Structure 1
């Protein structure tokens, strides 16, 4: 048994080296030569597709691995014990000591490789996939459970940026997930791009193209609206994202804060 494991491990190392060299021709020849199925290398803690994505393999190699591994679905996660990332809790950095969960689509978007992300989505990867029982290990060695969607995930590891957030939203990110506390987390995290990220979310969902088309339809059909009716339309639109009282924390309200202004601008309760 040990010999078989050692043999497989040696083959895995060789295949990884070939992937690192970005040589698809050599990869095809090698797996044919040793008569191995690439999916034999995958387990709960290692996945060849995720490895290739994180090590910037070419789109052709990524596509080849997807086909060769014959995944039933690309909506899966592994727990990589070998990786250690810094994660953030209320703006303070902590280290994840015992590895992290990984998902193919999350990995590609985390490095802004949207070409690979598009390929994964074309193969039915779901932008709204949620990691079950997602957690990070805090410095006190306790599990901190979090919501396992892609936005929470990237934010925890300080990988959420305007570019990848816009990509996620444009791919049909579910607004119901936004209302699980993403805005609150961004407020509390105090990152440099905090204002930009929150503003991107609000602008995507509120007063969006559908809302503008609705107003244009009313105008085109010469429908008259009372002030009260117009206010109700705006109120309903703003309610798409819930802004809770708890978002207005003491620190936020102490000063003339741009985030505070943004919240008040989109708060449906403020007319």
Structure 2
């Protein structure tokens, strides 16, 4: 729901209360329905996360969970700041505040190092693994690192990316905590003191079990240590990786040959030969790296990149054929920064170029994330495509099986304010679910053409589906209109109400009554109604 000034004032007062009796008395005294203050979709503000943020005690939090009718604690919202406007003597949600951030209930407690409350939330069903790595990277500190380790937060490429630059101590601590830790050592010491006989086979098996506590699925965990020259972290991950060393060496070769420049391979070879970090590599692997430098691999890769950047598909085909190149060997496929398909789209490649890359590089799917055009966020490939207005490529990817709903695309649209009419038209054509945040911004910016487009949305429905879907579709339209009226009032954009009214599927009498309730009982309310309907 969109809060009016009175409701928002109640919200702020409740979020500040630390005493259970005061909290409960305020709700009863003001006849508050706590479920109306719940916002697990991130459309406005959420009473549970705000109270956790303000270090409310566990019995207050429990009261909110029960009476707010929270079905799950595993939800993520864009937590917005509430500000007090002195000139208007009222509170407002600041949708553009620099301190707005993504949050979950459990993450909010851990951010405050409130481990008692964090444990309480976990007992209520909050899953620590639900917290995104981006949030962990932001809230991680020396005090809460042990809590995260004890609760089993998993290592991953994203976690390494978020911590490797200024919190790499956590990566080291993670490996030391989970493998050959104090408990493991004490077990062996007790056996020695008690002179217990254990076979070599048994010891070997126990060591293998210990090593398998940390497992890696692919090469992604090594990407960031290489990228930022963090070879101490690279060595730690390498030593704790339970996969055969020949497999890990092939991963290193792929990363160096496809993702980085010649200088990176030269630097790594120097480190190996100088034994700076005591890597144990096969001579054949070292020879492979040396061959990379001498056989013009990096020179060929540069030519391919230049031809893609210039959108010269004819010369690219000729160069690949003449030099007997397997283009897939040069493609950093699915890489967020340097995926070849991303590069083609970035440089406005023709549809012929796109089809050629798809043919030569054997993509399994197109539901993956890349760095946004402005290099400030991680977005889906489809969103990257539409944000650059590459409509033919967008349609082709959809045809090839890309999922338009992958990666919560409307959150990106609203967050990045890429609310252009043509973009939204494509989303509507593919039946993407819109959110209230988008409507708020459209109304706030007086984008009348876009508002009409959204409210006139028509979803194709077959005769077979009609009976079961028509009520749901009508309810969607009513929901959009109801929230749009409130947004128009909230932002003072009364000129948009006629547009909303024209597209409201309800009876006129019902709509007028709702508008009367929205405006009629406030100062100047009757005057506002006359302005809206020109009466």
Q: Same fold (TM over 0.5)?
A: yes
Q: Which residue of 1 aligns with 2:57?
A: 58
Q: Which residue of 1 aligns with 2:214?
A: 241
Deviation string, structure 1 residues 37-77 (Cα, Å, up to 9, x no partner): 21112233321010011122233322322232121121122
Residue among 14, 24, 32 paired with 2:10: 14
Mapped partners of 1:215, 1:27: distance in 2: 53
Q: Which residue of 1 aligns with 2:352?
A: none
TM-score, structure 1 as length reference? 0.65
Aligned residue runs from structure 1 range 148-159, under 5 A: 149-155=131-137, 158-159=138-139
Instruction: State the secondary structure of the residue aligned to 1:101.
Output: strand
* CA gap 1:106/1:203 in 2 versus in 1, 3 angstroms: same
User: Any gaps of 5 or more consecutive residues in structure 1?
Assistant: 84-94, 130-148
* CA gap 1:112/1:261 in 2 versus in 1, 3 angstroms: same
Aligned residue runs from structure 1 range 25-104, under 5 A: 25-43=21-39, 44-45=41-42, 46-82=45-81, 99-104=100-105
Query: What's the offset of the Cα at 1:180?
Result: 4.3
TM-score, structure 2 as length reference? 0.36
* CA gap 1:225/1:23 in 2 versus in 1, 3 angstroms: closer
Mapped partners of 2:115, 2:15: distance in 1: 19
Q: Which residue of 1 aligns with 2:122?
A: 121
Query: What's the offset of the Cα at 1:126?
Result: 1.4
Q: Does 1:112 align with 2:113?
A: yes
Aligned pair count reads 223
Which sits farther off after the overlay, 202-211 or 233-242?
233-242
Mapped partners of 1:42, 1:67: distance in 2: 11
Deviation string, structure 1 residues 162-208 (Cα, Å, up to 9, x no partner): 332211221233xxx41444235433xx20x42x2112211222124
* CA gap 1:23/1:267 in 2 versus in 1, 3 angstroms: closer
Instruction: State the secondary structure of the residue aligned to 2:78.
Output: strand
Q: Which has more helix, going by share of residues?
A: 2
- Greater relative contact order (CA < 8 Å, ≥ 6 in sequence): 1
Q: Is the contact between residue 54 and residue 107 of structure 1 (CA under 8 Å) also seen in structure 2?
A: yes
The structure that has the greater radius of gyration is 2
Q: Which residue of 1 aligns with 2:148?
A: 168
RMSD of aligned residue pairs (Cα, Å): 3.8
Residue among 144, 160, 163 paired with 1:183: 160
User: Any gaps of 5 or more consecutive residues in structure 2?
Assistant: 83-95, 246-278, 281-535
Residue among 180, 195, 198 paired with 2:171: 198
* CA gap 1:58/1:240 in 2 versus in 1, 3 angstroms: closer
Mapped partners of 2:71, 2:174: distance in 1: 32
Residue among 205, 210, 225 paired with 2:200: 225
Mapped partners of 1:152, 1:238: distance in 2: 27
* CA gap 1:66/1:165 in 2 versus in 1, 3 angstroms: same
Q: Is the contact between residue 225 and residue 233 of structure 2 (CA under 8 Å) also seen in structure 1?
A: no
Mapped partners of 1:159, 1:225: distance in 2: 44
